[in-house]
Amino acid sequence: MKPPARTDTNPLARLRNRTPARVALGHSGAGLPTAALLDFQLDHARARDAVHESLDAQRLAADLAPLPSLRVHSQAADRTVYLQRPDLGRRLAAECADALPRDPYDVVFILADGLSARAVQRHAAPTLRLILRGLDDWRIAPLIIATQARVALGDDIGSCLGAKLAVMLIGERPGLSSPDSLGIYLTLDPRPGRRDHERNCISNIRSPQGLSYEEAAARAVWLLRAARRAGHTGVLLKEDSAIIQPQDHGQ
């Protein structure tokens, strides 16, 4: 007679198998088991590395070719200043502002390092290409590649260009299970002084572990078109996920 099949008696086992979050790690005495502790230290190191990693703007521009792109940077002179002075990361360097062409663009897309250059390097180009497929009737500014950038830097850039909407694709703050998560921030009528509640955000874009490129692009296109119709972004613009179809970016 065969013994009964073994089952995991831990009531959190099913949850643990469905999430990268640290659930039911067990213990060794008063501390974590060695394997769990080493995994934590490795993920922590990866998150720290992501924050300090530099964006390869030249390679990103090549990934975006033949789409035209321009490079700008914030008033933060280097990564150390950027991390210590978030305010400088929100302001465009004067020489960059003077070099931007001004025209009545419908939208400008900014690809920015943020707190995870790795996220932008990996996920921004394929996501953006899908977004652009749904905006073939829009007047789109040259793509902007921004370094030492915070989300609000898009307000300065959009204002200088004269764009009606600014869309920032930026590396999000790394987590212990997601050192390369990309976020998209949409702002209507970008200008200095805009607040976070005036933006819409699509987060955790990191295929295949997080939101897929296709779904992120579909949400972005829907929000952009809805923002243009409604005349606002942010808390006044609610995403209706029931009518967003990843395979149909043009609606």
- b/e burial code for range 74-83 (CB count within 10 A of at least 16 → b): bbbeebeebe
Burial class (CB in 10 A: 0-12, 13-18, 19+), 188: buried
* Residue indicated by tokens 């659930």: 23
Q: What is the 3-state secondary structure (H, E, C) of 117-163?
A: HHHHHHHHHHHHHHHHHCCCCCCECCEEEEECCCCCHHHHHHHHHCC
Per-residue pLDDT of the chain (251 residues; tens, 9 = 90+): 555 554 556 677 777 777 777 777 777 778 888 877 787 788 778 878 778 889 999 999 999 999 999 999 999 999 999 999 999 999 999 999 999 999 999 999 999 999 999 999 999 999 999 999 999 999 999 999 999 999 999 999 999 999 999 999 999 988 777 889 999 999 999 999 999 999 999 999 998 888 999 999 999 999 999 999 999 999 989 877 555 666 544 44
Q: How far is it, in rounded angstroms, from Cα 120 to Cα 170?
A: 6
* Residue indicated by tokens 């977004």: 131
Determine whether domain 52-243 maps to CATH 3.20.80.10. no
Closest CA to 82 of 94, 71, 90, 70: 90
Q: Which two tokens stand for residue 51?
A: 């924050």
Q: Which two tokens stand for residue 229?
A: 């119709």
140-166 confidence digits (pLDDT tens): 999 999 999 999 999 999 999 999 999
How high is the pLDDT of residue 245?
Answer: 60
